[in-house]
Every structure is written in structure tokens, then in C-alpha cells.
């Protein structure tokens, strides 16, 4: 499997092991006249599906999987869970959080191997490991609101509408959004500067559903200005995450440095004095005079370094 993944990444000619195929029609056991529903979760949650007879499909909590729904299947890949069930039933879908964060839930309908529709709930908040979520699903035309029990006390606290209900070409969208970070750029910025954060995303398929940007792990507005005076010197990273309405994710990031020069340090001292961080004007004056003296010495050094070798 590792060798196959390596060949895919390196764009080599693939030698497929037995049981692995690139033909979509061979990935589904269902005949072309049968519609299949795939429920999937992408986050730290356990996925459970119950049919109208309350038969269970999903984890038992001890590492085993129950496949009590006829003609069903269940797969887990890391924190991603996939439940495959036949259509024609009304299902109750439940997720149990295993940690805080957020969850993406997708419902995809297939008529044979052809996509017949997609329902998504994206970036649904999980307050704690006690958070549960539940919704009923039979088809795309019904009300499929997601009910959240934030603290696990058995009472639903929040109703979440689907992010998107997609049919036709939109439901077949597998291309992630395109993220553009216009600012900051990968370069040095003075600590005395105001740094514009300019981030955008576009998606030619289902359209953009979610866009979030972080600076140093802190969530910020996608179009805002950051005062670098309040940031530490050194390397910083802007990370942007986007989802389209079909649930395809994309991530982009750029790193930049915050630096100081004698001139920017003078501006910082004046700012600190205005904010009351430096309480005595005489202290600020002495600091600025010392920095100006350092600037003069620095310029003399630059002139000396420009003298041709062998000359006084």
C-alpha cells in the first residue's frame, strides 16, 4: 500500500494490487438500478446509523463494528467514518464526539455509480467530548435539520440547517476551492507596520461555503489589518482553510517575519510612551537618543565598507 501511494504521488505508472481498481463501477456492489446512500463523518466522532427497525450500523465502542442493517457496510480511515446503506429506508444518523473541535458530515446518494445528490453539514462545532448530533434522512426533499446536544444531557440545544443540498452537476464536484492570499507576502515586515490581511477563495463547482483564517493560531477576519506592534519579533504564519458546499477542503498558508530596525524601534518607543507603557518622557528621550547615535555609527560603518580595498 505504501508503494502504491508513493507511485501515485510521484505520478508513476500504477501496478494495482489485487482488490484495488481505478474503475468506478467496480467500487460498488449495487446494481445500476439501486440507489445507495453513503453517510460519512470527518472529525473526532463516532458514526452510528439506525434503520426503521432500529438495527445498528457502526462502532460498538470496544473496537468492533456492527453490521446489523442488511446490505450495509462500514469503513473507518483514521478519524473518517463511512457508512454504506441501501436506499428506501428512513435512517436515524447519530454522531458521538470523542473530543472538542468541529465535525463535517456528508450524505451522498448514488444511483449505481452515478452521483444523485449530496447533503452537507460543514464545520459543526463540538463543544466537548459529550456533544452528540442527530438527524433523520430518507431523501433530499425532506427536512434534514441537524440537532445538537452540546453537553450530552439528552436535551437538544441547537438546530443546525444543512450547509448545502446539491443535485445535478454540483453534487459531483470533487475539486477543492482555490485560495488566494494576497497579503501578507513571504517577506520581512517592520514591527511598526500595519499589516493588511487579504484572503479570498473561489470555487467553480458547488461554490464556497466556509473560509477561515488564522494568524499564529488565532482566528482573524479574512479582510482586516493587524498591528504588528503587538506581535512578537520573528516568524509568523497565516493559515487559511476553505470548504466548498460539497465539502471539499483546501488549505493555504504563507510565512513572514516581523523584524526591527533602529528606525522602527524609535517608532515603537514613541508608541509605548503614548500607550503609557513608558511612564517617563525622559526615559523615552534617552532611549531614542541612544538609537539615533547607533544609526549614525551604522551609517559610518556602511561608508567604510564601501571604500575600495587598499585605500585609506
Distance separating alpha carbons of residues 290 and 191, to the nearest angstrom: 19
Tell me what the mean pLDDT of segment 271-285 comes to.
93
Q: How far is CA 285 from CA 92, 193, 271, in A?
A: 71, 22, 13
Q: What is the mean pLDDT of residues 116-137?
A: 92
Name the β-bridge partners of 149.
132
37: exposed, middle or buried (C-beta count within 10 Å: 0-12, 13-18, 19+)?
buried
CB 101 within 8 A of CB 79: no
Residue 121 — very low, low, confident or very high, per pLDDT cuts 50/70/90?
very high
Give the pLDDT confidence score for residue 279 in this predicted structure.
Answer: 93
Q: What is the pLDDT of residues 203-215, one digit of tens each?
A: 998 999 999 999 9
Question: CB–CB of 94/146 below 8 Å?
Answer: no
Pairwise CA distance, residues 208 & 199, whole Å: 13
Please tell me the pTM assigned to this model. 0.73
Each residue's pLDDT tens digit, 140-156: 888 889 999 998 888 99
- Spatial CA neighbour of 71 closest among 96, 88, 46: 88
CB 128 within 8 A of CB 97: yes
What's the number of CA atoms in the CB half-sphere (13 Å) around residue 271?
13
> What's the mean per-residue pLDDT of the chain?
88
Measure the CA–CA gap between 183 and 290, rounded to whole angstroms: 34
Summarize pLDDT for 50-78 with one digit per residue, the tens: 999 999 999 887 778 999 999 999 998 88
Confidence at residue 43, expressed as pLDDT on a 0 to 100 scale: 86
If we measure between CA atoms, which residue out of 237, 255, 258, 236 comes closest to residue 190? Answer: 258
Of 15-29, 183-197, 249-263, 294-308, the one with minimum mean pLDDT is: 15-29
The tens digit of pLDDT for each residue in 80-101 reads: 999 999 998 899 999 999 989 9
Closest CA to 125 of 232, 212, 203: 212
CB atoms within 10 A of CB 88: 10
| pLDDT for residue 200 is more than 80 | yes
pLDDT at 32: 46
User: What is the reported pLDDT for 311?
Assistant: 66
Amino acid at each position: 500500500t505504501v508503494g502504491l501511494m508513493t507511485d501515485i504521488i510521484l505520478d508513476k505508472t500504477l501496478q494495482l494490487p489485487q482488490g484495488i481498481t481505478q474503475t468506478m463501477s467496480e467500487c460498488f456492489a449495487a446494481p445500476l438500478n439501486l440507489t445507495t446512500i453513503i453517510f460519512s463523518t470527518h472529525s473526532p466522532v463516532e458514526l452510528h446509523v439506525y434503520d426503521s427497525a432500529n438495527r445498528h450500523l457502526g462502532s460498538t465502542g470496544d473496537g468492533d463494528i456492527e453490521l446489523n442493517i442488511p446490505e450495509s457496510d462500514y469503513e473507518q480511515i483514521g478519524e473518517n467514518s463511512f457508512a454504506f446503506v441501501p436506499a428506501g429506508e428512513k435512517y436515524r444518523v447519530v454522531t458521538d464526539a470523542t473530543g472538542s473541535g468541529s465535525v463535517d458530515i456528508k450524505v451522498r446518494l448514488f444511483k449505481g455509480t452515478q452521483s444523485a445528490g449530496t447533503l452537507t453539514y460543514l464545520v459543526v462545532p463540538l463543544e466537548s467530548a459529550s456533544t452528540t448530533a442527530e438527524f433523520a434522512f430518507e431523501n433530499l426533499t425532506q427536512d434534514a435539520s441537524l440537532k445538537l446536544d452540546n453537553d450530552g444531557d439528552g436535551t437538544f440545544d441547537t438546530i443546525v440547517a444543512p450547509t448545502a443540498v446539491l443535485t445535478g452537476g454540483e453534487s459531483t464536484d470533487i475539486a477543492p476551492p482555490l485560495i488566494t492570499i494576497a497579503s501578507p507576502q513571504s517577506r520581512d515586515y517592520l514591527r511598526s507596520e500595519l499589516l493588511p490581511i487579504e484572503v479570498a477563495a473561489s470555487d467553480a463547482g458547488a461554490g464556497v461555503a466556509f473560509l477561515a483564517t488564522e494568524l499564529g493560531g488565532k482566528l482573524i477576519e479574512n479582510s482586516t489589518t493587524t498591528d504588528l506592534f503587538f506581535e512578537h519579533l520573528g516568524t509568523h504564519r497565516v493559515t487559511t482553510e476553505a470548504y466548498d458546499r460539497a465539502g471539499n477542503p483546501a488549505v493555504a498558508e504563507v510565512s513572514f517575519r516581523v523584524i526591527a530596525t533602529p528606525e522602527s524601534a524609535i517608532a515603537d518607543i514613541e508608541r509605548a510612551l503614548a500607550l503609557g507603557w513608558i511612564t517617563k518622557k525622559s526615559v523615552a528621550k534617552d532611549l531614542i537618543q541612544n538609537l539615533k547615535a547607533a544609526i549614525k555609527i551604522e551609517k559610518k560603518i556602511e561608508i567604510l565598507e564601501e571604500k575600495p580595498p587598499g585605500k585609506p
